[in-house]
Amino acid sequence: MYRPTDTPSDIYIWDWIVRVCHWGLVATFVTNYFIVEPGRLYHEIAGYMAVALISIRIGWGILSTKFDGSKRVATEYASFSKVSLRQQAFAEHIQHVKQKKIPTHHGHNPFGWLMIMAVITLLLGLGITGFMMEEIDAMFGNSTLEWIHSIMADVLYGCVLVHVAAVFAVQYIGNIQLVRPMLTGWRKR
Ligand code: HEM
Ligand code: HEM
C-alpha cells in the first residue's frame, strides 16, 4: 500500500504480518513475565496468544514467498528461505559491523535468525509445558514441569535482553535503521 509519506528512497522491509506478530509477542511476553499472576486465566490467555502468534509467524516464514510481489503484501525478508547460517554469513555480517556499514537492503543477520529459532523453541516449549500443567490432571502442580517452564521463561527473558541490546548496538555501529522498519515497515536507503 503506497502512502504519501513514503518516499521512493525508502525500502519496504517488514510486512504487517511480521510486525503484528513481533509487537504482539512483546506484549504477551511482558504480560506473562511481569504483569499477570502465573498460571491464572490471563496468564493462560496471553500464553496461548503468544503460541498462536509464533505459529502464524512460522506459517508466514514458509508461505510468504507465494504472496511476494508488487502489492507489498509480503517481502522476501520474512521468508525462511532467506535463512543462512553458513560460517561465511556470520563472517560477512561481522565484517559489515566492523566497517560500520550494513547494507540497507539486508534483512535479518545470521545472529538474528538464531535468536528467532531460540524464541520459537522457547515459546513452543512454554506453551506445551503450560498446557500440560493446566490441562492434564496427572501433571497438575508437577514441580518438574513448573521448573522447566520457569527456566524456559527466564532463558527467554535473557534472550530478549541480549536481543534488544544487540538491536540498538547494531543499529548504531552498523549505521542502519533497524527499529523503524519493525515499527513502520520502511527503512531509509
Ligand atoms: C519480549 C520481547 C521481544 C521478543 C520476544 C522479540 C522477538 C523478536 C523476533 C522473533 C524477531 C524476528 C522477527 C521476525 O522475523 O518475525 C525480532 C526482530 C526484531 N526485534 Fe524484537 N523482540 C522483543 C523485543 C523487542 C524490542 C523491545 C525491540 C525494540 C526496541 C525490538 C526490535 C526488534 C527489531 C528492530 C527486529 C528486527 C531486527 C532486524 O532487522 O534483523 N524487539 N524480535
Ligand atoms: C509467553 C509465554 C509464557 C511465559 C513467558 C510464562 C511465564 C511463566 C512464569 C515466569 C511462571 C512462574 C514460574 C515460577 O513459579 O517460577 C509461570 C508459571 C506458570 N505458567 Fe506460564 N508462561 C507462559 C505461557 C504459559 C501457558 C501457555 C500456560 C498454560 C496454559 C502457562 C501456565 C503456567 C502455569 C500453570 C504456571 C505455574 C503457576 C504456579 O506456580 O502455580 N504458562 N509462567
Looking at the CA of 61, which ligand is closest? 1
pLDDT digit string (tens) for 87-139? Answer: 999 999 999 999 998 999 889 999 999 999 999 999 999 999 999 999 999 98
Domains in the chain and their CATH numbers? Answer: 10-188 (1.20.950.20)
Which of 76, 149, 140, 86 has its CA nearest to residue 114?
86
- DSSP reduced 3-state for 187: strand
Question: Tens of pLDDT along 139-158?
Answer: 888 899 999 999 999 999 99
* Pocket flag, ligand 1, residue 160 (CB < 6 Å): yes
Q: Give the residue, out of 154, 163, 170, 179, with the most ligand 1 atoms within 8 A of its beta carbon, to mutate for a pocket test.
A: 163
Q: How far apart are CA 150 and CA 103, in angstroms?
A: 39
Alpha-carbon gap, residue 128 to 123, rounded angstroms: 9
Rounded-to-integer distance, Cα 69 and Cα 63, Å = 13
